Amino acid sequence: MGLRSRLGRARDAWSTHLAAVRVAGVVDDRTWEGLTNALLLADIGLPTTEALIDGVRHRVGAEGVDDIEGVLGLLKEEILDRLGGADRSLAVGGQPSVWLFVGVNGVGKTTTIGKLGWREASAGRSVVFAAGDTFRAAAADQLQVWADRAGATMVRGAEGADPSSVVFDAVEHAAARGADLVLADTAGRVHTRGNLMDELAKVRRVAGKGAGTVTETLLVIDSTTGQNGLIQAREFAAAADVTGIVLTKLDGSARGGIVVAVQEDLGIPVKLIGVGEGTDDLVEFDPADFVDALFSVDVPA
Amino acid sequence: MFEGLSSRFEGILRKVRGKGRLGPEDVEEFVAEVRVALLEADVHLDVVQTLLDRIRGRAVGVEVAGALNPGQIVVKIVLEELTAVLGGETFRPAYASKPPTVVLLAGLQGSGKTTTAAKLARWYKGQGRNPMLIGADLERPAAVAQLRTLGERISVPVFSDSTDPVAVARAGLAEAVRLGRDVVICDTAGRLAIDEDLMAEVAEISATLQPHHTFLVVDAMTGQDAVTMAAAFHSRLGLDALIITKLDGDARGGAALSITEVVGRPIAFASTGETVEDFELFHPDRLAGRILGMGDVETLIEKAEETFAAEEAEAAAARMLAGTFTLDDFLEQLRALRKMGSISSIMGMVPGMASQVGDLDEAVDERRIDRIEGIINSMTPAERLDPDVIDGSRRARIAAGSGTQVGEINQLVKQFREMRKMMKQMGGRGPGRRKAGRAKKKGRGGRVTAAGPAPIDKKKGLSLPGLGMSPGDQGPSSGGLDLTGNWPPGPTGGR
C-alpha cells in the first residue's frame, strides 16, 4: 500500500491552505502566505519554511514559472533536495550487529523493535532482543510479547538493573549462539536529563565493547512532535551517535515535517517510518513518497 | 518548561526597554519577535494569529502612563493574553455527590496515559480519597502489567481483565462501588483521532462510565497537530480538561496553550518528571508568569508545604532568598528538595533561575547530593556553622570521614559560599523584597536558622517580570550550586 493512500486522511488545515493556493490560480503574495502556512502546519518549522519559500520564490523568478502547479513542483523539489542523497539502508557488519533504539518517552521504541524484529526474523535473520528499558514498569513484558510474535530470543534483566549490562549480556548471548542481530531497547528519556543522557552514552559504548558491533543507533521520533524534535535529534546525536531516524505514527493526522530540518541541519536521515499498528506497518522511508503524500490534497469542488 | 519562550520575551524586553514610547514600528518589531517565539514554541498557527492581533490591538497607541513604560506595558499585555488563553483560573476537580467520582483518561499513543493514571491516583490519595484504577488498555502489550506495577507502588488497587475495554470499564466501575472506592480512574488505549473504530470504542467506554471528568492527556512536545487531535477527542468525548505531560523536558508546550484556546478547556494537571510525585495541579496564572521568565515562587512554596510544615517552608524559602543559611540549613534544604521531587524542577521555580540556569536539568546529578550529604555529615557543628574554620587538618579529617577527596570539600565550601551569595542577590532583587536580603553577620554564635521568617510578599514577588530590574541588575550570571556529573567519577546509571 502506498504511503499516499495511508496518509490520505485528515489533512484538513493543510488542505485548506493548499486548496486556497490552488484555487487562486495566480501566483501572488497570497500564494506564498498560503504555502508558508501549509508548511508551518506540517511542523516543518519557521527557519526551514522561510528558506524553502525563499528558494522557490527565487527560482520562480529565475525560471519564469507563473502557474501554481509549477510553483508546487518547485517546492517539492526544494524539499526533496533537502531529503535527498542519504543512505537509508540499515547497516550490518558485526558478529552480531547491534541496532540500538533511543528516544524520548512514548515515541514507540519498543513497538518499533517488535515490528523490525519481526521483519528481520521473517527475512531469515536470527534476532535477539535486549530489554534495555529497565526503568518503565513492565517494559520488558511488553517487549517479551513482541519477541514471542517475532520468534526472537529475549535477554532481560531485573527492573532497575543497569541497562548497559543487560545490553552487554544480550550481545554476548547473541555472539555465543551465532545470532545475526541484536535489537536493543532503551528507556525513554527526556534529553534535558544530563545523567540519563550519560547513561545512554554508556549503553552505546558498552554495546560495542564485546563481540558485537553497533552498526545502527536509531532515534525514534513521534510524527506528532513539534519543533522540539530538532533539539531531541541534536541531543541524542551528541550522546549516542545517532545514525538514522525512525519516524513513527505517520498514519495519524500529523505530518512529521520536523524531519526535514533534522536531516538538513544534522545530516541524519529518516530510515524507517511507522504507518500502523500491524507487524508489517514499519516500512522504508521513501522521500519522494513522503513529499508526494504531503502534497496529495484533493481540491474541493 | 517554556524557558525558551521566557528568554525570547526577555530579549524583546531588553530591546524595548528604555524607550519612552512605542511607535507602530516598535510594536510591529515586538509582534514579529512574538510570532517567531510562539511558532517555535509550537503554538498553533491560527492561535498565533489570534494572539498577535490581540496584542497588536492593545499595544498600538499606548502612551506612557503611571509607573510603567510602554515596553513594560507590552510585556504586561502579552502576559495577560497568555494568562487569558491558559484559562485564567485554576481547575478544581469536583467530586460526585454520590461516589465514586469517575475519571476517564484518553489520548494518543505514547502521550503518557498509564503513568498519568497512577500519578493522578496518587494525587487523589493525597487529597484523602480512596482511588481505584481501571486498566482498559488491552491493545498495548503489557499495558495492564505496567498499571498493576504502578498501582502496587502507590498502594492503589487496579482492576482489569482480558475481555474487552468496554466490559472492563463496566466491571471495573461495579468493582469500585463494591469496594467502596470513592474515585475511579480509567486508563484507555492510545488511539489516533482519525481512527474511527477506536474513537467509537472510547466513546462507548465514556457512555458506559458516564465520567465526571474526562481528561485528554497531551504530550508537551506535540506540534501543530495537537489542535486537530484535541478537537476530534473533544467532539467524541466532551473533554473537561487537559493533562499535560513531559514538561520536564525543554519543549515549550505551545500545543497545550493552543488546545485551551481552540477547545476552550483548561489544563488541569501538569506532569513534570518520571517519578509519581512529579505531578501537580496546573496553575495558568503562574505559568503565564513563568513563560515571561519570572519564576514561580508560589508553586515552590506549595510543594514545600506538602513536605514539611507550613511555617518551616516559609522560613526555609525566606532563608534561601535572604542568603542567611548555614551548611546545616543547606543540608536540610537538599534533603527537603529531594523529598519534594527532582531538584531541577524545583530550581526552575525560583525567579530568574529559569533563564539563567536554563540548562540546570542537564547539570543536576542526584548522586552528587549523596556525596555532599556525606561531607556535611562528617563536619562538626562548628564547621557547618562557619566553613571558614575548616583548615587543612580538618579537611583531611572530613575527607577521611566521608570517603571523599580534599578537593571536593574545598569545592563544596566554595560553591556553598557562591550559592549563598546568589540566593541573597535573588532575595534582594524583586520589589518589596529588599528587606528580606538582610545582611548576615558572620556568626559564630549559635546555629543560624531563620532569623525570624522573612515572609515573601507573594503578590509583589509575582508582579510583572523585569519591572524591578535596573539595567545593571540582571541577577547572578554564574555561581551557585554545581550539581553536574563532573563531580568525581562514580558509577553511572540510576535515576
Closest-CA residue to A261 (of A273, A250, A269): A269
Task: Report the distance separating Cα B301 and Cα B316, nearest Å.
Answer: 9
| B247 φ/ψ angles, rounded to the nearest 5 degrees | -75, 0
Q: Look up residue A286 and give its three cell numbers.
A: 521513501
How far is CA B241 from its chain centroid? 18
Domains assigned to chain B: 3-85 (1.20.120.140), 101-291 (3.40.50.300), 311-461 (1.10.260.30)
Flag whether A201 is in a domain: yes
Flag whether A258 is in a domain: yes
Question: Are the beta carbons of B110 and A108 separated by less than 8 Å?
Answer: yes
Residue A258 maps to which CATH number? 3.40.50.300
Question: Are the beta carbons of B495 and A145 separated by less than 8 Å?
Answer: no
Task: Report the distance separating Cα A225 and Cα B224, nearest Å.
Answer: 8
Distances (CA, A) of A65 to A23, A26, A59, A268, B209: 17, 11, 8, 32, 59
- Classified as helix, coil or strand, B212 is coil
Helix (H) or strand (E) holding B131: strand B131-136
Using a 10 angstrom Cβ sphere, with 0-12 exposed, 13-18 middle and 19 or more buried, the burial of residue B109 is buried
Task: Report the distance separating Cα A8 and Cα A253, nearest Å.
Answer: 9
Our CA angle for A60, A66, A70, nearest 5°, is 75
Rg (CA), chain A: 21
- Classified as helix, coil or strand, B121 is helix
Does A108 lie in the same domain as A18?
no
Task: Report the distance separating Cα B435 and Cα B318, nearest Å.
Answer: 11
Set of chain A residues whose Cβ sits within 8 Å of the Cβ of B41: 227
What are the tens digits of pLDDT across the range B445-472?
Answer: 333 333 333 333 333 332 223 323 333 3
What distance in Å separates residue A41's CA from the closest CA in chain B?
A: 6
Q: What is the pLDDT of residue A298?
A: 38
Q: What is the pLDDT of residue B179?
A: 96
Q: What is the pLDDT of residue A2?
A: 42
User: In chain B, positions 301-340, which contact chain A (CB-CB < 8 Å)?
Assistant: none
- Classified as helix, coil or strand, B42 is coil
CB A98 within 8 A of CB A215: yes
Q: Look up residue B427 and give its three cell numbers.
A: 532575595
Q: Does B145 touch chain A (CB under 8 A)?
A: yes
Distances (CA, A) of B70 to A144, B17, B64: 61, 8, 6
Task: Report the distance separating Cα B62 and Cα B476, nearest Å.
Answer: 33
Closest-CA residue to A204 (of A191, A178, A188, A186): A186
Domain final position from A66, A86, A106? A86
Residue A5: count of CB within 10 angstroms of its CB: 10
C-alpha dihedral (A202, A203, A207, A213), degrees to nearest 10: -80
Q: What is the pLDDT of residue A3?
A: 45
Q: Does B162 touch chain A (CB under 8 A)?
A: no
**Sequential DSSP letters for B394-436:** HHHHHHHHHT--HHHHHHHHHHHHHHHHHHHHHHTTSTT-GGG
Greatest Cα pair distance in chain B: 74
Does A145 lie in the same domain as A219?
yes
Q: Look up residue B473 and give its three cell numbers.
A: 541588575
User: How many distinct structural domains can be found in chain A?
Assistant: 2
Does A102 lie in the same domain as A212?
yes
Flag whether A243 is in a domain: yes
Does A201 lie in the same domain as A61?
no
Task: Report the distance separating Cα B415 and Cα B215, nearest Å.
Answer: 44
- To test the contact with chain B by mutation, choose from A156, A186, A195, A235 the residue with the greatest count of B C-beta atoms within 10 A, namely A195
Does A190 lie in the same domain as A157?
yes
CB A111 within 8 A of CB A246: no
Which residues span the domain enclosing A14? 3-86
Q: Does B187 touch chain A (CB under 8 A)?
A: no
Task: Report the distance separating Cα B165 and Cα B187, nearest Å.
Answer: 10
Task: Report the distance separating Cα A170 and Cα A163, nearest Å.
Answer: 11
Does A112 lie in the same domain as A236?
yes
Our CA angle for B401, B402, B403, nearest 5°, is 100
Task: Report the distance separating Cα A258 and Cα A263, nearest Å.
Answer: 9
Q: Amino acid identity of A161?
A: A
Which residue in the block uniquely carries the three cell numbers 492593545? B58
Task: Report the distance separating Cα B271 and Cα B141, nearest Å.
Answer: 24
Flag whether A91 is in a domain: no
DSSP state of B388: G
Flag whether A120 is in a domain: yes
Q: What is the pLDDT of residue B137?
A: 96
Does A253 lie in the same domain as A143?
yes
Flag whether A294 is in a domain: no
Question: Are the beta carbons of A137 and B150 separated by less than 8 Å?
Answer: yes
Distances (CA, A) of B442 to B244, B382, B388: 46, 13, 10
What are the tens digits of pLDDT across the range B336-366?
Answer: 666 555 555 555 555 445 444 444 444 456 6
Q: Is the dihedral of CA A163, A166, A169, A175 positive or negative?
A: negative
Q: What is the pLDDT of residue B471?
A: 32
The residues pairing with A44 across neighbouring beta strands, listed in sequence order, are none
User: In chain B, positions 65-84, which contact chain A (CB-CB < 8 Å)?
Assistant: none
Does A150 lie in the same domain as A41?
no
Distances (CA, A) of A291 to A54, A73, A218, B374: 18, 11, 22, 58
Q: Amino acid identity of B118?
A: A
Flag whether A301 is in a domain: no
CB A145 within 8 A of CB B141: yes
Does A102 lie in the same domain as A82?
no
Alpha-helical runs (H) found in A84-193: 109-122, 139-150, 163-177
Which residue in the block uniquely carries the three cell numbers 548471548? A173
Q: Is A45 left (phi over 0), alpha (psi -120 to 50) or beta?
A: left
Q: Does A168 touch chain B (CB under 8 A)?
A: no
CB B185 within 8 A of CB B100: no
B183-188 and A244-248 as β-strands: parallel, antiparallel, unpaired? unpaired
Task: Report the distance separating Cα B252 and Cα B6, nearest Å.
Answer: 9
Q: Does A262 touch chain B (CB under 8 A)?
A: no
Closest-CA residue to A194 (of B300, B404, B369, B344): B344
- To test the contact with chain A by mutation, choose from B43, B224, B370 the residue with the greatest count of A C-beta atoms within 10 A, namely B224
Distances (CA, A) of A295 to A38, A255, B229, B419: 10, 11, 20, 55
Q: Look up residue B183 and give its three cell numbers.
A: 474515585
Residue A68 maps to which CATH number? 1.20.120.140
Domain final position from A56, A86, A116? A86
Does A149 lie in the same domain as A23?
no
Task: Report the distance separating Cα A75 and Cα A55, nearest Å.
Answer: 8
CB B218 within 8 A of CB B266: no
* Ranges under pLDDT 70 in chain A: 1-15, 296-301
Does A28 lie in the same domain as A159?
no
The helix-helix angle for B406-427 and B366-377 (nearest 10°) equals 100
Q: Which residues, 6+ apart, have CB-to-CB distance to A198 below 8 Å?
A: A239, B485, B492
Closest-CA residue to A128 (of A176, A174, A186, A175): A174
Task: Report the distance separating Cα B331 and Cα B412, nearest Å.
Answer: 12
Does A161 lie in the same domain as A66?
no
Flag whether A117 is in a domain: yes
Among candidates B112, B139, B223 on the partner chain, residue whose Cβ is nearest the Cβ of A226: B223
pTM over 0.95: no
User: In chain B, positions 376-435, which contact chain A (CB-CB < 8 Å)?
Assistant: none
Question: Are the beta carbons of A193 and B362 separated by less than 8 Å?
Answer: yes
Which residue in the block uniquely carries the three cell numbers 483560573? B89
Q: Is the dihedral of CA A197, B300, B88, B69 positive or negative?
A: negative
Q: What is the pLDDT of residue B28?
A: 84
Using a 10 angstrom Cβ sphere, with 0-12 exposed, 13-18 middle and 19 or more buried, the burial of residue B96 is middle
Mean pLDDT, 10 residues at a time, chain B of 495 residues: 48 64 76 83 90 88 60 72 75 89 97 96 96 96 95 97 96 97 97 93 97 96 93 95 88 85 91 89 68 45 49 62 70 66 57 47 61 86 82 89 87 80 62 36 35 35 29 33 36 43
Q: Does A137 touch chain B (CB under 8 A)?
A: yes
